[in-house]
Chain A
Amino acid sequence: MADAVMTGHKYVTPTRKRSGFRKMMERKSTIAFLMALPLLILLSVMVLYPFGYSLHLATLNKSMTRFVGFGNFAFLFKRETFWLVVQQSCIFAITAVVFKALIGFIVAHFVHNIPNKGQRKWRGMLLVPWVIPPAMSTLAWLWLFDPSYSAFNWLLSFVGIGPIPWTGDAYWARFSVILVNVWYGAPFFLIMYLASLKSVPEQLYEAAAIDGANWWQRIWFVTLPMMRNIISITVLFSLIVTFANFDIVRILTAGGPIDKTHVFATWAFWVGIQSGDIPLGATVSLFMFPILAVCAVFILRDIHRRGNEA
Chain B
Amino acid sequence: MAQVSLRKVVKRYESIQVVHGIDLDIADSEFVVLVGPSGCGKSTTLRMIAGLEEISDGEISVDGDVVNDVPPKDRDMAMVFQNYALYPHMTVYENMSFGLRLKKFPKEEIKRRVAEAARILDIEDLLERKPRQLSGGQRQRVAMGRAIVRNPKVFLFDEPLSNLDAKLRVQMRTEIKRVHQKVKTTTVYVTHDQVEAMTLADRVVVMNKGIIEQIGAPNFLYHSPATRFVAGFIGSPAMNFIPCKLEAAGDGLTMRLDKVSFAIPAERVARYKAFAGKDLTFGIRPEHLTDAHPNGTKNVAQFDAAIEVVEPMGHETMVFFTVNGAEVCARVDPNSGAKTGSPLKMAIQLDHMHLIDNSSGKVL
Contact = CB atoms under 8 A, between A and B. Distances in A.
Interface of A: 201, 203-204, 206-214, 217, 221-222, 225-226, 228, 306, 308-310
B52 A308 contact: no
Contact of A201 (B75, B85, B130): B85
Nearest to A214: B73
Please provide the 4 A-B residue pairs with the shortest distance between their CB atoms, ordered closest to farther: A211-B99, A203-B85, A207-B85, A225-B89
Nearest to A209: B72
A309 B130 contact: yes
Nearest to A307: B132
Contacts of A222: 87
A222 B146 CA distance: 16
B332 interface: no
B69 to A, nearest CB: 15
29 contacts: A203-B83, A204-B87, A206-B50, A206-B52, A206-B72, A207-B86, A207-B87, A208-B98, A209-B71, A209-B72, A210-B51, A210-B75, A210-B77, A210-B79, A211-B73, A211-B146, A211-B150, A212-B103, A214-B73, A222-B87, A225-B87, A225-B89, A228-B89, A306-B89, A308-B132, A309-B88, A309-B132, A310-B88, A310-B132
A226 to B, nearest CB: 7
B105 to A, nearest CB: 11
B33 to A, nearest CB: 20
A30 B325 CA distance: 65
A211 B52 CA distance: 12
Nearest to B72: A209
Nearest to A310: B88
Contacts of B75: 210
Contacts of B74: 212
A303 to B, nearest CB: 13
A166 B239 CA distance: 83
Contacts of B253: none
A49 B150 CA distance: 62
B81 interface: yes
A212 B87 contact: no
Contacts of A210: 50-52, 72-73, 75, 77-79
B102 A217 contact: yes
A213 B73 contact: yes
Nearest to B102: A212
A168 to B, nearest CB: 48
B99 A212 contact: yes
Contact of A203 (B81, B102, B146): B81
Contacts of B52: 206, 209-210
User: For chain B, what secondary structure do more than half of its interface residues adopt (helix, strand, loop), or is it mixed?
Assistant: loop
Nearest to B131: A309
Interface string B105-147: 0000000000000000000000000101000000000000010
A209 B99 CA distance: 9
Nearest to A308: B132
A46 to B, nearest CB: 38
A207 B81 contact: yes
Nearest to A207: B85
Contacts of B102: 211-213, 217
Contacts of A308: 132
Contacts of B87: 204, 207-208, 221-222, 225
A306 B130 CA distance: 11
A209 B76 CA distance: 11
Interface in B79-102: 79, 81, 83, 85-90, 98-99, 102
Contacts of B99: 211-212
A203 B52 CA distance: 10
Contacts of B88: 226, 309-310
A310 B81 CA distance: 17
A67 B103 CA distance: 68
A71 to B, nearest CB: 50
Nearest to B103: A212
Contacts of A221: 87, 98
Contact of B73 (A203, A209, A228): A209
Contacts of B51: 209-210
Contacts of A213: 73, 102
Nearest to A203: B85
A208 B103 CA distance: 12
Contacts of B89: 225-226, 228, 306, 309
Contact of A212 (B50, B73, B86): B73
B84 to A, nearest CB: 9
A226 B131 CA distance: 14
A221 B72 CA distance: 17
A29 B78 CA distance: 50
A233 B342 CA distance: 72
Interface string B141-169: 00000100010000000000000000000
B85 A204 contact: yes
Contacts of B85: 201, 203-204, 206-207
B83, B85, B99, B132: residue with the most chain A Cβ atoms closer than 10 Å: B85
Nearest to B94: A221
A201 B81 CA distance: 12
Nearest to A201: B85
A206 B83 CA distance: 12
Contacts of B90: 225
Contacts of B71: 209
A66 B258 CA distance: 112
B51, B74, B98, B103: residue with the most chain A Cβ atoms closer than 10 Å: B98
Nearest to B80: A207
Contacts of B77: 210
A228 to B, nearest CB: 8
A203 B163 CA distance: 15
B98 A211 contact: yes
Contacts of B81: 203, 206-207
A209 to B, nearest CB: 4
Nearest to A226: B89
Interface in B35-86: 50-52, 71-75, 77-79, 81, 83, 85-86
A201 B87 CA distance: 10
